[in-house]
């Protein structure tokens, strides 16, 4: 049989993958609408996409990422590696996102940003996406767009129907003390202590790690990001409905350090100082929640011995999680949840 090589046939073959992708995306969106209706009694809902702490891959926990549902619209809060797969698990695609917040620029919190930008572009997004982040975010996005240059050159010869890649993203720099209105939501930011360096160490000027608070319709969520003890966070979170905090199993991690015969005493001292000043032990996180009068403390970015030294050791993880909760409850008397990936928290239903 003679092959049909007409221009129309070649065009159809070229557009077919795009049509399939768009059709599948529509099917996912429709299934999401049917499977996960908006929470009736809450204008906001927090969804944990990835709850792992640090760069070691842990099979049950993806890298740090969250969704904040605001009046039915998904806002992405941090975007670690694996975020797009977790996003799909709750019924959304990259093109469904138009608002993204980055707490800081450590790799475990931004490893999925290239996938977000590239997939959103390939799926034919017709509206721009705004990425709110600390100083350095513009350089991050510019670098990603440049890295996608070879893909953009290939796409010149394919049917692409969305916005041009270099016009699809707007960056808004957020710094300590920011207080803004975004789509009717009040958003405030304070600098936390995650980047507080020991004497003699200096980060580039302007580098910041942020905690964020979102207020809408009389309800609020405060997200610590990665931080050490910081009074500014307790002030920011005053009276918050949901305090979403990082946590480390500090005592167990320090014990493991001390038992490590391959590490120098100097290295052990520096790592212990890092744990104590740039991350939150259960007692430190519980103290912030108590000072703030938070209605519900939810842990994410959970760093435990099992995820660092023996990834995927379920028994070690259970013991570590139990220890974290017990130590927290010594100082914070409200409800405490150690979250898992894909867990939902309707704001205003704290502790239920």
Domains of the chain and any CATH numbers: 37-345 (3.60.15.10)
How much is the pLDDT for 86?
98
Contacts of 323 (CB under 8 A, 6+ apart): 249, 251, 252, 282
Task: Name the average pLDDT for the chain.
Answer: 85
142 has a pLDDT exceeding 80: yes
Average pLDDT of span 292-312: 81
Q: What is the tens place of the pLDDT at every residue in 167-187?
A: 999 999 999 999 999 999 999
How much is the pLDDT for 246?
98
Q: What is the tens place of the pLDDT at every residue in 271-288?
A: 899 899 999 999 999 999
Say how far apart CA 38 and CA 25 lie, in whole Å. Answer: 19
pLDDT band at residue 348 using 50, 70 and 90 as cut-offs = confident
Judged on CB neighbours under 10 Å (0-12, 13-18, 19+), 163 is: middle
144 has a pLDDT exceeding 80: yes
Q: Is 78 helix (H, G, I), strand (E, B) or coil?
A: strand
Nearest to 345 by CA among 188, 223, 194: 223
The dihedral region occupied by 124, where left means phi > 0, alpha psi between -120 and 50, and beta the remainder, is left
pLDDT band at residue 18 using 50, 70 and 90 as cut-offs = very low
Half-sphere exposure for 327 (CA within 13 Å, toward CB): 20
Q: At what angle do helices 265-278 and 250-259 cross, to 10 degrees?
A: 170
Q: What is the tens place of the pLDDT at every residue in 26-69?
A: 333 333 333 343 444 458 999 999 999 988 888 889 999 999 99
How much is the pLDDT for 206?
67
pLDDT band at residue 318 using 50, 70 and 90 as cut-offs = confident
pLDDT band at residue 197 using 50, 70 and 90 as cut-offs = low
């Amino acid at each position: 049989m003679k092959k049909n090589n007409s221009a129309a046939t070649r065009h159809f073959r070229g557009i077919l993958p795009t049509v399939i992708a768009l059709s599948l995306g529509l099917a996912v969106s429709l299934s999401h609408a049917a499977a996960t209706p908006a929470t009736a009694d809450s204008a906001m809902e927090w969804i944990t996409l990835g709850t792992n702490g640090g760069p070691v891959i842990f099979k049950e926990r993806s890298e740090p990422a969250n969704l904040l549902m605001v009046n039915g619209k998904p806002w992405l809060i941090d975007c670690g590696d694996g975020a797009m797969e977790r996003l799909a698990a709750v019924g959304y695609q990259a093109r469904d996102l138009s608002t993204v917040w980055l707490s800081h620029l450590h790799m475990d919190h931004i490893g999925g940003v290239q996938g977000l930008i590239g997939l959103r572009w390939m799926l034919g997004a017709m509206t721009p996406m705004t990425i709110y982040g600390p100083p350095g975010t513009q350089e991050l996005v510019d670098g990603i767009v440049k890295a996608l240059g070879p893909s953009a050159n290939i796409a010149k010869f394919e049917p692409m129907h969305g916005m041009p890649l270099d016009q699809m993203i707007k960056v808004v720099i957020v710094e300590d003390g920011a207080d803004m209105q975004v789509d009717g939501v009040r958003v405030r930011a304070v600098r936390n202590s995650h980047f507080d360096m020991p004497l003699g160490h200096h980060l580039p000027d302007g580098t910041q790690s942020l905690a964020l608070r979102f207020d809408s319709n009389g309800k609020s969520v405060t997200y610590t990001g990665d931080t050490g003890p910081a009074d500014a966070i307790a002030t920011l979170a005053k009276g918050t409905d949901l305090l979403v905090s990082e946590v480390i199993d500090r005592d167990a991690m320090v014990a493991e350090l001390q038992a490590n015969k391959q590490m120098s005493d100097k290295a052990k001292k520096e790592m212990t100082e890092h744990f104590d000043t740039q991350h939150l032990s259960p007692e430190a996180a519980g103290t912030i929640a108590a000072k703030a009068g938070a209605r519900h403390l939810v842990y994410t970015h959970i760093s435990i011995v099992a995820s660092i030294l023996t990834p995927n050791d379920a028994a070690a993880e259970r013991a570590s999680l139990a220890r974290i909760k017990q130590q927290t409850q010594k100082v914070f008397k409200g409800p405490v949840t150690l979250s898992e990936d894909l867990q939902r928290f309707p704001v205003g239903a704290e502790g239920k």
